[in-house]
Structure 1
């Protein structure tokens, strides 16, 4: 089930990033060795009252001239309207109500999405209350006073946010068609792949009802099975500013990945794997999705008997943090190996939803421990008591130990490799939670 998406919109200097950083807290679990992911923190995982959501900061370039600011804000608002379930419209009590606030409010009001009007920098509720009331004039509901800097009113704001989350979770769970997001840089052939798959299956494209997001969902039937493809390529907004465009496409990628079970990361064979590809792959990896690296335009590559090996070596080097990802070489132009995509998707889905009996897991763990002693520190050795699987998509395990400080990343990776040796788990990441259990609880 995909998490709701909450977007932050507002003029420059109203405190968007202060609020974003406050809500994101230290929970930005960006994989240490994922290249290029930490540079611009556009999105973060937030949890409130047992509800998880993805927070997106649409902000971006902040030029000085008033009309540029307005056009930028319209662009931001549009991103939020296209991708978010709930929009946080941030204003500033000290600057008061500004003309561009009213224009963006009109746009947001027409979007029919839940919009929460947040008035920031209210460090003293009694003193600023009359100024907060002024924002009623925007006509988008009751202003919520907060101070991101002083951490005031944040809980009340989040209570309102989670009230608006869609309740269609049930419908989505009953829909058991695999969802596949096709992501990658512009012009790597994402749409061509979908068109080719459609062409071969001769199915009528139906825009699936109820998708308000700007990714286009296409159902494709193959061997009597339905698959839903989420394509982010179809809508490329005209933006004068390259950086903003890249930011926009990353936000769209996050949204598509969020809704998918499996992510096909399309790479241009001629160009080779780039830093931006690694960044996109990092998003899917972090979200625990099934991953297939699709190297497109393979027909255009001069080959000898080493080509595939060398190419794979390079892809693996750049994506060293996800050795489980599957790699396929295809051509959307000639259709080479495209039907095989479905077989690969089926394998990855199977692995994403694989459940392993607790007894078997514990046998593997004990064997692993016997082969390689757990680490120790100052005479205290890590002891592993018990392992059990608690979830799927991705397969998630809990390991009970005597002291989680002693569980080094490298030993966890060693255990993961042992589990993979036994069960494969090709194409999916695995998640581990380490829990402490005192001797006497055992």
Structure 2
């Protein structure tokens, strides 16, 4: 078998609204990028694993190319696209066959020829006969024979595979056979203990999924750029600049991290238009997939109602939460601001005590190391497992110091307890009559767990089960 020595990177480029994000979703096999008829939906470039016709590669979606060179948002979008093209091995230059070849298509075709980047010309929207004239016009761009396809309907993918195949890097077959044999020897030589260690190492090597969320314009994108130390996503004074959730594969102190910048979440009543609703849904999807969520707050407006709504959502989804107080360098009375935050958390989020808070300045790069240390610590607590024997010794002490209440003249009996899962820590409590256990007593046990086993700021779930008279864990 011939195997690629490194992964091919393919950037999809073209003027706005020619179907770049639709093709990106088609190649990735998921609806990751937002798609709408409005031009300029995509603003930052994003990468994902693509597969078509047996070929595997990294595919990059980019913003629409605009012939603008000032300090406007469109010019900054063009600069982001240029950075993506520089990193790519080959460019897929999309034109809209139904609209025909425009002056902007000709301009950027000339730019690509001058840049010398290997380019495949793709005529999109070629379903039916309406795209035939545009397909023939595309020959005039001087980028070779255009590949006709329909990204929306999945037509023409075989032709795209044929065009991509010459760019796929290959390694020597003998080297690959030797590598395959060595891999097989390693597999069959491993005993159960070694396999378990390998599985543990593999789990450690998996990327920590870190999402950055918050209201619009609090500095989420600035924070991502400061962490990865490059202008990876667009920033600026315009509110709501980020639309797609942009993921960046990154490494910090040897630990792989998948960092995701999200669109700002506004109050539901203020969400206007289909595009913003789609962006909000994308942000909610990212929160559900995250391990740790950093909620970025503007130090001038600490924990308003919308911030609390976002924090509750993170907790309800069972994600580890870290609060980043941004623009801290501009705060005059820092002690008063911290007291206000602490009071708001105790009053409005009593179910999660000890949420870690880090004061930062994303713009100046202040205290970002401390923020990442806090994220890694929160991730460890989120993965925490407590042995059943320790839990039941602790449970005995808790019930002796504060016995369960009486129900119909008889005291409820708590039989035993075990942790059924982590991420977040989830416990099953076996009770004689689970439906009669008061909520405040369950909360007493959860708070005790948090204090006794050092689980600050992590969502804890308690599942009540009907227990038999014997403890299976004795």
TM over 0.5, yes or no? yes
Report the CA distance between 1:111 and its aligned residue: 7.3
Corresponding residue number in structure 1 for 2:210: 180
Structure 1 outlier segments of 4+, above 6 Å: 172-175, 202-205
Q: Would the aligned equivalents of 2:430 and 2:466 in 1 still touch at CA under 8 Å?
A: yes
Corresponding residue number in structure 2 for 1:391: 421
Q: Would the aligned equivalents of 1:386 and 1:399 in 2 still touch at CA under 8 Å?
A: yes
Corresponding residue number in structure 1 for 2:387: 357
Q: How does 1:373-412 map to 2 (within 5 A)?
A: 373-412=403-442
State yes or no: 1:190 paired with 2:232. no
Corresponding residue number in structure 2 for 1:41: none
Post-superposition CA distance 1:177-232 (Å, at most 9, x none): 11001111110100000111111xx7999xxxxxxx94211122222222111111
Q: Would the aligned equivalents of 1:375 and 1:406 in 2 still touch at CA under 8 Å?
A: no
Q: Rate the CA distance shift 1:111–1:372 in 2: closer, same or farther, 3 A.
A: farther
State yes or no: 1:419 paired with 2:449. yes
- TM-score, L = length of structure 2: 0.52
State yes or no: 1:252 paired with 2:282. yes
State yes or no: 1:217 paired with 2:247. yes
- Partner-residue secondary structure (3-state), 2:396: helix
Post-superposition CA distance 1:311-340 (Å, at most 9, x none): 322343333343242211111122221111
State yes or no: 1:294 paired with 2:332. no
Q: Would the aligned equivalents of 2:246 and 2:260 in 1 still touch at CA under 8 Å?
A: yes
Report the CA distance between 1:174 and its aligned residue: 8.8
Once residues 294 and 153 of structure 2 are traced to their aligned partners in structure 1, the CA distance between those partners, rounded to angstroms, is 31
1:110 counterpart (141, 144, 152): 152
Corresponding residue number in structure 2 for 1:262: 292
Q: Rate the CA distance shift 1:235–1:405 in 2: closer, same or farther, 3 A.
A: closer
Q: Rate the CA distance shift 1:235–1:400 in 2: closer, same or farther, 3 A.
A: closer
- TM-score, L = length of structure 1: 0.55
Once residues 363 and 242 of structure 1 are traced to their aligned partners in structure 2, the CA distance between those partners, rounded to angstroms, is 54
RMSD: 3.7
Q: Would the aligned equivalents of 1:399 and 1:433 in 2 still touch at CA under 8 Å?
A: yes
Post-superposition CA distance 1:225-258 (Å, at most 9, x none): 221111113999xxx9637566444322211111
Number of aligned pairs?
A: 275
Q: Would the aligned equivalents of 1:250 and 1:280 in 2 still touch at CA under 8 Å?
A: no
Q: Rate the CA distance shift 1:323–1:234 in 2: closer, same or farther, 3 A.
A: closer
Once residues 260 and 434 of structure 1 are traced to their aligned partners in structure 2, the CA distance between those partners, rounded to angstroms, is 26
Structure 2 unaligned runs (5+)? 1-33, 47-127, 129-149, 155-201, 234-242
Report the CA distance between 1:265 and its aligned residue: 0.9
The one of the two structures with greater contact order (alpha-carbon pairs below 8 A, sep at least 6) is 1
Q: Rate the CA distance shift 1:249–1:324 in 2: closer, same or farther, 3 A.
A: farther
2:301 counterpart (271, 295, 298): 271
State which structure, 1 or 2, has the greater radius of gyration over its C-alpha atoms.
Answer: 2
Once residues 153 and 328 of structure 2 are traced to their aligned partners in structure 1, the CA distance between those partners, rounded to angstroms, is 42
Q: How does 1:17-416 map to 2 (within 5 A)?
A: 110=152, 176-199=206-229, 214-233=244-263, 242=272, 247-303=277-333, 305-416=335-446
Post-superposition CA distance 1:337-367 (Å, at most 9, x none): 1111111011111111111110000011110
- Partner-residue secondary structure (3-state), 1:242: coil
Once residues 431 and 286 of structure 2 are traced to their aligned partners in structure 1, the CA distance between those partners, rounded to angstroms, is 37
State yes or no: 1:434 paired with 2:461. no
Q: Rate the CA distance shift 1:204–1:193 in 2: closer, same or farther, 3 A.
A: closer
Q: Rate the CA distance shift 1:381–1:246 in 2: closer, same or farther, 3 A.
A: farther
